[in-house]
Amino acid sequence: MKKARYVLRLASRNMWRNRLRSLLTIAGIAVAIISFGLLRTVVDSWYAGAELAASGRLITRNAASLAFPLPLSYGERIRRVQGVDQVTWANWFGGIYIDEKHFFPQFAVDADSYFKVYPEYVLDDQQLLAFKKDRRGVVVGSKTATKYGWKLGDQVPLRGTIYPGVWSFTIRGIYHGRDDKVDTSQFLMHWDYVNENVKAILPSLADKVGIFVVNIKNPSNAALESQAIDSVFRNSLAETRTETQKSFQLGFISMVDTILLAIQTVAYVVILIIMAVMANTMAMAARERTREYATLRALGFNQAFVYSLIVGESVSMAVVGGGLGVLLTFPLAKGFFSVTRDMFVVFDVTPTTITLQIMASLLIGLMAALAPTINSTKIKIVDGLRAVT
Amino acid sequence: MSGLISIQHLVKTYQRGSQDIPVLRDINIEIESGDYVSLMGPSGSGKSTLLNLIAGLDKPTSGRLLIGGVDIGSLSEFDLANWRATNVGFIFQFYNLMPVLNAFENVELPLLLTNLSKAQRREHVEVALAMVGLADRMDHYPNELSGGQQQRVAIARALITDPTLIVADEPTGDLDRQSADDVLRLMERLNRELGKTIVMVTHDPKSAAQARRMIHLEKGVLVTDGEAGH
């Protein structure tokens, strides 16, 4: 116990012998741990939407591709499938506000059923009524409304891409999330209004729906319900593919899987790089202390004591840097989220990420001590005592 | 006085590539308990190697090295470390103090290998530092002490476990004359008053003259072994 205390005392004091070097190394570790944490949180956040999806919610789309719509009439047939509770539908609108940089998701939705299927979108009754009464009205998520300073009654022009022309909408409602994990960036317009215009300009797309959103009574029957819905439309002109909301969203994420893999790889490469930097620092430190280590061994301390000094110093430095990194990850994640709100619904540093950061810090400390520890075993006491440091 | 160190037909060679370099050749020395021996000789004569062997820092190639009846050449690394901790006090030319520990902590260091309590360790350290005249410098770090003071801290550290044998490698080599004289006087006191057996390597004839016995080595061979000049 007294030896352990001495090891800690010596290791922590040794750590500050070359202050500039130690501070730079600690800063490097902190930056690496922050980067690791933020990059992992970016990846987590991509998956967060899927993880937060309601378990009893299914998405039905065209089996051929999401690019091909389904007939509106399918909605009634889906509703008749046993176990289905509620059905609504939505079309991706894809308009441009000002320019492409000002992106927010826009959907043409069924005003009567959409907010029943999505109870997590909290909308004032008066505003819902106003939305239903105005065919050119829209409901906007609070995040997007705040971003552009929109308020009720404001006019928002969008330039159509899928649906040509300039569309003008009036904000009739601003929805909030039931909790901070709900996406509040959407811009929801009347499907009826869009469909009415489409009939005139693109008749082939009229009365068509991008996806049906289906709430089922028993979430544990999701697989069976999906099969039941799809079987209704088997051998039809537009066969369907039904899956849980989570699977549907994961399908989107799989499109950027390679990017996410690259981000994850970078996160681990950062740790490897700092491990090498730290190993170099420890190698220099251990080389400088060769004579001291030899003196300790001459005095009767065994090799394990010397190992513990090297490992103790290395781990102490990694823990200080890592701890700093973990602490700074939170405010930096907050700052990062504030400038990337359009990209992520949530940007929470998860307990898993924090655990991994702590483990990475310890690993950096242990691995960095490996080479100098091995080297120290090769040095004989008499040679160590002669070392010029 | 009784025989403490018995060196019999001691040979030490180093290997450089495929070549064996002899450093000590057939050395035979008997050193009594309480003796004060200086090892002298030119560079490369093998005196430091002999000191390292006596201190248990290195192992002989052949021959026997008995200290207090223990053949230290046959001990494992682990046992040898324990043996050094109990039986040998070290004084180095460059003091070899831990720069991040103060004088008290440096002297206390060897006591960490004993079962003494914190209070007992404190008592021992205070006595040792008082003995070398540094009771008022306990909290000072090596860089706050002069060379002579640092060497006295090192002597206190060598004494702290009450070893039978003290080995000193050029203990005055890095000191000015005044400090060197202080250190030599201190070592003489250790020998005379505490009965410590001291083996010291030195280049300095004045330092060597402080010892009772002087052993002269040249090219790994014992040339002369006799009384020192004082």
For A298-309, the pLDDT digits (tens) are 999 998 999 999
Nearest to A300 among B58, B94, B110 (CB): B110
**Residues sharing a CB contact under 8 Å with residue A124, sequence separation 6 or more, in sequence order:** A173
Question: Residue B25: which domain range?
Answer: 3-227
- Which chain B residues have a beta carbon less than 8 Å from that of A382? 52, 57-58
Handedness of CA B144, B203, B23, B64 (dihedral sign): negative
Q: Residue B127 is encoded by which pair of tokens?
A: 């006595």
- Which chain B residues have a beta carbon less than 8 Å from that of A292? 96, 98-99
Average pLDDT over residues A265-279: 93
**Residues sharing a CB contact under 8 Å with residue B140, sequence separation 6 or more, in sequence order:** B102, B103, B149
Handedness of CA A166, A169, A175, A176 (dihedral sign): positive
A164 vs B106, more confident: B106
Say which CATH number the domain at B134 has: 3.40.50.300
Please indicate if any CB of chain B lies within 8 Å of the CB of A4.
no
Please indicate if any CB of chain B lies within 8 Å of the CB of A120.
no
**pLDDT the model gives residue A110:** 95
- Cα A35 from chain centroid? 14
The Cα diameter of chain A in Å comes to 96
Q: Which A residues 13-32 touch B at CB under 8 Å?
A: 13-14, 17
The whole-chain average pLDDT of chain A stands at: 91
- Which chain B residues have a beta carbon less than 8 Å from that of A14? 100
Provide DSSP, A292-304: HHHHHHHTT--HH
Count of A–B CB contacts within 8 Å? 59
Identity of residue B204: D
**pLDDT the model gives residue A205:** 82
| Nearest-angstrom CA–CA distance, A358 and A319 | 8
- Which chain B residues have a beta carbon less than 8 Å from that of A2? 112, 118
Residue A171: CB atoms within 10 Å = 23
Residue A17: DSSP 8-state: S
Please indicate if any CB of chain B lies within 8 Å of the CB of A382.
yes
**pLDDT the model gives residue B1:** 47
A257 vs B98, more confident: B98
CA distance to partner chain B, nearest, from residue A380 (Å): 8
Please indicate if any CB of chain A lies within 8 Å of the CB of B174.
no
Percent of chain A with pLDDT over 90: 73
Give pLDDT tens digits for A334-367: 999 888 877 787 888 999 999 999 999 999 999 9
What ipTM was reported for this prediction?
0.93
Residue B97: CA atoms inside 13 Å, Cβ hemisphere, count? Answer: 29
Q: What share of chain B is helix, strand, coil (3-state, %, to 5)?
A: 40, 30, 30
- Which chain A residues have a beta carbon less than 8 Å from that of B104? none
Average pLDDT over residues A101-111: 93
Q: Which A residues 270-309 touch B at CB under 8 Å?
A: 291-292, 295-303
pLDDT of residue A71 exceeding 90, the answer is yes
CA distance to partner chain A, nearest, from residue B91 (Å): 10
With bands split at pLDDT 50, 70 and 90, how would you rate the model's confidence at A195?
very high
| Nearest-angstrom CA–CA distance, A91 and A156 | 19
Number of domains in chain B: 1
SS3 A91: strand
**pLDDT the model gives residue B24:** 94
Domain ranges of chain A: 2-50+257-386, 64-238
A180 vs B7, more confident: B7
**pLDDT the model gives residue B230:** 52
- Which chain A residues have a beta carbon less than 8 Å from that of B118? 2
Nearest to A382 among B52, B78, B100 (CB): B52
**pLDDT the model gives residue A4:** 83
| Angle A77-A83-A89 from CA coordinates, rounded to 5° | 45
Please indicate if any CB of chain A lies within 8 Å of the CB of B104.
no
Of A176, A181, A140, the residue nearest A348 (C-alpha): A181
